[in-house]
Amino acid sequence: MKRLILLLPLAVFLGVAVFLYRGLFMDPSELPSALIGKPFPAFSLPSLDDPERTLSEADLKGRPALVNVWATWCPSCRHEHPVLNQLAERGVLIHGVNYKDERGAAQKWLRELHNPYQLNIEDARGSLGLDLGVYGAPETFFIDARGIIRHKFVGTIDERIWREQLAPIYQSLVDEATP
């Protein structure tokens, strides 16, 4: 019994070490979204491609999709853009939310860098961004066919992240939608 008590500090140390070691690999800037499992927030905003047209959350339903929050003022979005182009070519459905941007600059960006987005919502004042809990572009939401937010990825999507983390999530949503 006495011997065991002598081992107590070692046990405490090991416990703390494991705890801290785990902490080394956690990213504190990654916030769990409060919107997972909730429907995509209601909105009524112009389409970037055709400002005459008004888009709403109903337009996003029907097929699982990625909703990518982007802006021309966001340098990481430029890095991410070619990856989105490739994904769109492979048949991944991507919608865009052009977050607090200028219409002219955004349209020019799409003309020059290719447009991977099926629909592009123009959120000039950031009201949809606020409802989505966006705190910095790029952010990508995964919605299922019923328009429920199932996953959120904050940061730049690259080939590796897509392959290792995100493709399985997207695939599961697609599988779910096809009975």
Partner 1 sequence: MKSWICATLLSLTLVASSQAAIDTYEFASEAERQRYRSLVEELRCPKCQNQNIADSDAPIAMDLRAQIYRMLEEGQSNEQIVDFLVSRYGDFVLYKPPVTARTLLLWYGPALFLGAGFVLLGVIVLRRRGKPGTAASGLSAEEQQRLAALLKQSSVDNKD
Least distance from C-beta 160 to partner 1, angstroms? 25
Q: What type of residue is 7? A: L
With a CB cutoff of 8 Å and minimum separation 6, the contacts of 149 are 33, 35, 36, 37, 38, 39, 40, 141, 142, 143
**Cβ closest to partner 1, residue 23 vs residue 28:** 28
**Cβ closest to partner 1, residue 11 vs residue 177:** 11
Binding-site string for partner 1 from residue 9 to residue 48, where x marks contact by CB under 8 A and - marks none:
-------------------xx-xxxxx-------------
Q: Using CA atoms, how far apart are residues 159 and 166, in angstroms rounded to an integer?
A: 10
- Residue 91 found at the interface with partner 1 (CB under 8 A): no
Q: Using CA atoms, how far apart are residues 72 and 74, in angstroms rounded to an integer?
A: 5
Least distance from C-beta 11 to partner 1, angstroms? 14
Report the alpha-carbon angle 145-134-51, nearest 5. 70
Positions in 97-156 near partner 1 (CB under 8 A): 100, 126, 130-136
Positions in 49-88 near partner 1 (CB under 8 A): none
Which residues of this protein are in contact with partner 1, per CB under 8 A?
28-29, 31-35, 100, 126, 130-136
